[in-house]
Structure 1
């Protein structure tokens, strides 16, 4: 296997944890601020982002806020950016990046909410 194939096969920075959480997606409108767009389902996550399936297509680069509903807690207004969106049957498979700068990941920022899910894998409903 050549090195280009090897890099492409494992492009994620960190393995994702499978889950099935309800997600509400919000998008900013020119008039009226943040508005509910759709309800989606989180399939997996890590500290860098979330993979979701949604009935609505959002273009890469779109800034969104998400509410994540886990059995132990609800994370509201988590900021994210759509980085990929591909058709998957009747829905769309989207990749959401939950940070803007590396400073947020290093903990130097006031909040990086997705980190609260770390260590809670036993409480989250797993994908069967």
Structure 2
């Protein structure tokens, strides 16, 4: 195994939890502000980000907002940034980062909403393996 394989094998900061959640994606438009652009499906998440499938391609670096629909609650207008976009059949597999600074993840900010999903694995619908 070379160094490229070892780096790629463990690229995530934390293991992701499989799930199936509805995700509404909003994108900022120059005229008109934030607008709904597509519905996606969350495949997995952790406190750093979310993996989703989307019928629409979004370029890495794009700032978006997402609404996450869980059985227990709806998290609205969660800030996210597209960090990866890969074709997956007729859809796109997007990697979303839900923080800008590590202070948000550490809880020093009141705005990091994805932390509310921590500990909810038992009530979230699980994806079949």
Which of the five TM-score ranges fits, normalised by the shorter chain?
A: over 0.9
* 1:69 paired to 2:73: no
2: CA distance, partners of 1:31 / 1:119: 39
Within 5 A, what are the aligned runs for 1:9-24?
Answer: 9-24=9-24
**Structure 1 gap ranges (5+):** none
Q: Deviations over 1:26-78 (max 9, x none)?
A: 00000000000000000000000000000000000000000000001000000
2: CA distance, partners of 1:79 / 1:28: 11
**Structure 2 gap ranges (5+):** none
Q: Secondary structure at the match of 1:109?
A: coil
2: CA distance, partners of 1:96 / 1:106: 18
Task: Using the TM superposition, give the Cα deviation of residue 85 of structure 1 relative to its aligned residue in structure 2, in angstroms.
Answer: 0.3
Q: Deviations over 1:82-118 (max 9, x none)?
A: 0000000000000000000111111111221000000
Aligned to 1:126: 126
1: CA distance, partners of 2:21 / 2:104: 23
2: CA distance, partners of 1:94 / 1:109: 25
TM-score (norm 2): 0.97
Aligned to 1:26: 26
1: CA distance, partners of 2:109 / 2:85: 28
Task: Using the TM superposition, give the Cα deviation of residue 10 of structure 1 relative to its aligned residue in structure 2, in angstroms.
Answer: 1.1
Aligned to 1:85: 85
